[in-house]
Chain A
Amino acid sequence: MARLNQPDQLTGSIPAPLAEPIEKQPLPRLAPSPRFLLLAHPNRWCVSGGKLIPLLKRFSLEPGVGGVDKAGNYHNAIAQQEARGWTLIPEAVDGPGTSYLRVDKVQNGHRFRTRWEVCYNGSTRIGSKTEEYAEWACSLVERGIIRPAPVYAIEGMIERLETSIANLANKVHAVPSLQIKIDAQEADLLVLRAALAEIEGELQPTQGAAPAALPEPDPVDLRATELHSSHKKAQLVELADQLGLSTKGTAKTIAQRIAEHELGSEDGEE
């Protein structure tokens, strides 16, 4: 039987309490995506959230893409984009310390997104705060960061939507659910027509200059051509002979000689 309180007996220490079980959140089931910047182009517009908004492009800042160099320097790449007509929307466009980007940890890395996109842990779904985004995108025009949509871009969109609505209308009797699409596109069409009416007065299409007048044809050449086409060579030789002109050369040369003589004598009479 063991004796208590022996000096060599181990008393042990109380172990640290077990940590509260951590509820492990699964990461969003989305692929990693690189950091990006948003760029606007005068040709790219769309209707979203009931507004005409710039259709911004994501310019990837990944080394080796679009001129971003091995160290991730992107300034030259952005300059190349600007030379092609794109306008950079700075990341802190809403003020110092702000960003339109958000980053989430996903399996195998990080996923960059805009702050209006919504990701869910354990899901592949990407949601969107469409109305909020449309407000923000619209404000880029209102704040003067990008120019309003040009007339030609809106007109192109209207033409395409009208074609699309006409095509859908052809099928709606067979597939009644297409009426939902037609209604949505008609609503977009109204937005576009309103936008066009608003800016049409401000932005005029290019007028173009009247081209320079064509040079007056030489009257001698005109008369010579007329003679040549309406007379045979024998007739021209006879006419030249009557006028005391040389009858040598081709029919065209004789006609030229007669025309010069006729117009020369008219000048003399004047």
Chain B
Amino acid sequence: MADTLYADLADSRLPAILGQELMLSRQDRMVILNHPALFYAGDVTNSGSTVIKQSELDFMAAHELAAVADGAAVTPTTLTDTSYNVTVARRAKSYAPTDLARLTDSYGALDPQKFAEDATLSAGMTLTSLIAQLMGGFSNVFGTSGSDLTLQDFEDAVTSLEIANVEGPYLSILAARQWGDMRDAIRTATGTVAFDPASPEMIRMRGTGYKGSIYGVDVFVSNKVSTANAGADFAGGVFGRGAVLWADASVPTDPSVIGVNAGKVLLEYDRNALSAVTNFVSNYYLGVAEGDDARGAAIITDA
């Protein structure tokens, strides 16, 4: 009597079954949208322009009272202002699964609700990515090219902001390599380091990129931080409120739109019946710009 082998049951067994849970690919999913160090310049919807001019006024304790003799006329103080422009542009993406791809989806990943979630998260991630690109652009630079980031470099950068009267709280965005060096520096530090590591609750609130607070500065890690010195270094940074400005717009909707208005992101379903394909198209309008350069410091260290 022959044994019944697995191979004998080819018609009643599957080559493979799907895992119980859908695993997401390795990506940077750090969203810093609501951090108070970011300055939201506004919404350009129905404003007549794609550019927001953010004014900065030399006011509110910017000038002290002058000593004036009794009876003498005080010279009026001139209020000076400056401005920074934020230009809003379109960002979009689409997925186009066929009906067959969707109807065989056992995970429910190709579901309209999941596409809406993806659109919202991707919009936040886009903002993070654009801000991370600005980090290395401040004219104040700390760190040593080709050398690992040290606590001293970080402290020097933070001190420079304090000296420049930069309003807190401060936010730092570093490349993962820089954070690794910083963690190493914390581990080998001989004195006390004011490091408050990210708790699971904080990570849930602020995203996986949040690493904790050092000297009161919230530190985030993003792999969108650009390189410097021909790839020899990473260009992270630390900044206070007003160094980085962002603005956005609301996509106009009308009754003909079929989709989901997820805040400022509009996800539309565009059905192509001839090809049996549904396009899930998301549109978002946003812009970021460096505001007051003196409110930020670049931290450029070994990659």
Binds A, one of B99-107, B195-203, B212-220, B286-294: B286-294
Interface magnitude class on chain B: 35 or more
Q: Is the Cβ of B231 less than 8 Å from the Cβ of A163?
A: no
Q: Which of A64, A126, A175 has the most CB of B within 10 A?
A: A64
Of residues 208 through 255 on chain B, the ones whose CB sits less than 8 Å from some CB of chain A are 223-224, 226-232, 235
Given the contacts A43-B141, A48-B146, A67-B289, A114 and B133 also touching, CB distance less than 8 Å:
no
Docked Cα-Cα span, A80 to B139, in Å, equals 14
A184 within 8 A of B: yes
Docked Cα-Cα span, A117 to B226, in Å, equals 12
Produce 1/0 per residue, A74-116, CB < 8 A to B.
0001001000111000000000000000000000000001101
Q: Is the Cβ of A126 less than 8 Å from the Cβ of B136?
A: no
Query: What B residues does A163 contact at CB under 8 A?
Result: 152, 156
Q: Is the Cβ of B145 less than 8 Å from the Cβ of A58?
A: no
- Tell me which of B50, B142, B152, B293 contacts A70 (CB under 8 A): B50
Given the contacts A64-B87, A65-B288, A184-B147, A43 and B139 also touching, CB distance less than 8 Å:
yes
Query: What A residues does B150 contact at CB under 8 A?
Result: 164, 167
- Tell me which of B85, B87, B140, B224 contacts A31 (CB under 8 A): B224
Docked Cα-Cα span, A117 to B150, in Å, equals 24
The interface residues of chain B, by DSSP majority, are classed as mixed
A60 within 8 A of B: yes
Q: Is the Cβ of A46 less than 8 Å from the Cβ of B85?
A: no
Query: What A residues does B90 contact at CB under 8 A?
Result: 63-64, 70
Q: Is the Cβ of B141 less than 8 Å from the Cβ of A55?
A: yes
Query: What B residues does A167 contact at CB under 8 A?
Result: 150, 152
A174 within 8 A of B: yes
Of residues 123 through 141 on chain A, the ones whose CB sits less than 8 Å from some CB of chain B are 126-130, 133
Produce 1/0 per residue, A25-54, CB < 8 A to B.
000000101101000010110111000010
- Tell me which of A68, A69, A133 contacts B229 (CB under 8 A): A133
Q: Is the Cβ of A128 less than 8 Å from the Cβ of B229?
A: yes
Query: What A residues does B130 contact at CB under 8 A?
Result: 60, 62, 64-65
The residue on B at minimum CB distance from A59 is B137
Query: What A residues does B293 contact at CB under 8 A?
Result: 84
B188 within 8 A of A: yes
Query: What B residues does A129 contact at CB under 8 A?
Result: 230
A160 within 8 A of B: yes
Q: Is the Cβ of B152 less than 8 Å from the Cβ of A69?
A: no
B46 within 8 A of A: no
B114 within 8 A of A: no
The interface residues of chain A, by DSSP majority, are classed as mixed
- Tell me which of A36, A57, A130 contacts B230 (CB under 8 A): A130
The A/B interface has a contact count, at CB < 8 Å, of 142
B190 within 8 A of A: yes
Docked Cα-Cα span, A171 to B188, in Å, equals 9
The residue on B at minimum CB distance from A167 is B152
Q: Is the Cβ of B288 less than 8 Å from the Cβ of A46?
A: no
Query: What B residues does A33 contact at CB under 8 A?
Result: 226
Q: Is the Cβ of A113 less than 8 Å from the Cβ of B229?
A: no
Q: Is the Cβ of B287 less than 8 Å from the Cβ of A64?
A: yes
A118 within 8 A of B: yes
Output the least CB separation between A44 and chain B (Å): 5
Q: Which of B86, B137, B190 has the most CB of A within 10 A?
A: B137
Q: Is the Cβ of A127 less than 8 Å from the Cβ of B141?
A: no
Q: Is the Cβ of B139 less than 8 Å from the Cβ of A47?
A: no
The residue on A at minimum CB distance from B84 is A80
B300 within 8 A of A: yes
Of residues 162 through 180 on chain B, the ones whose CB sits less than 8 Å from some CB of chain A are none
A169 within 8 A of B: no
Q: Is the Cβ of A57 less than 8 Å from the Cβ of B137?
A: yes
Query: What B residues does A43 contact at CB under 8 A?
Result: 139-141
- Tell me which of A66, A114, A164 contacts B134 (CB under 8 A): A66
Query: What A residues does B140 contact at CB under 8 A?
Result: 43
Query: What B residues does A86 contact at CB under 8 A?
Result: 139
Docked Cα-Cα span, A47 to B147, in Å, equals 11
Of residues 170 through 197 on chain A, the ones whose CB sits less than 8 Å from some CB of chain B are 170-171, 174-175, 181, 184-185, 188
Q: Is the Cβ of B152 less than 8 Å from the Cβ of A48?
A: no
Q: Is the Cβ of B139 less than 8 Å from the Cβ of A117?
A: no
Given the contacts A126-B303, A160-B156, A167-B152, A47 and B228 also touching, CB distance less than 8 Å:
no
Q: Is the Cβ of A80 less than 8 Å from the Cβ of B85?
A: yes
Given the contacts A64-B88, A64-B286, A126-B231, A46 and B144 also touching, CB distance less than 8 Å:
yes
Produce 1/0 per residue, B110-132, CB < 8 A to A.
00000000000000000000100
With A44-B141, A60-B130, A133-B232 known, 18 other A-B pairs at CB within 8 A are A31-B224, A43-B141, A44-B298, A47-B145, A55-B145, A57-B228, A58-B136, A59-B137, A62-B130, A62-B133, A63-B89, A65-B288, A67-B85, A67-B86, A117-B231, A130-B232, A163-B152, A164-B144
What are 11 A-B contacts defined by CB distance under 8 Å?
A55-B228, A57-B136, A62-B130, A68-B87, A84-B293, A113-B227, A114-B231, A126-B227, A128-B232, A130-B146, A130-B232
Query: Top 8 closest A-B pairs, CB basis?
Result: A64-B89, A116-B230, A63-B89, A117-B231, A133-B230, A64-B287, A46-B145, A70-B89
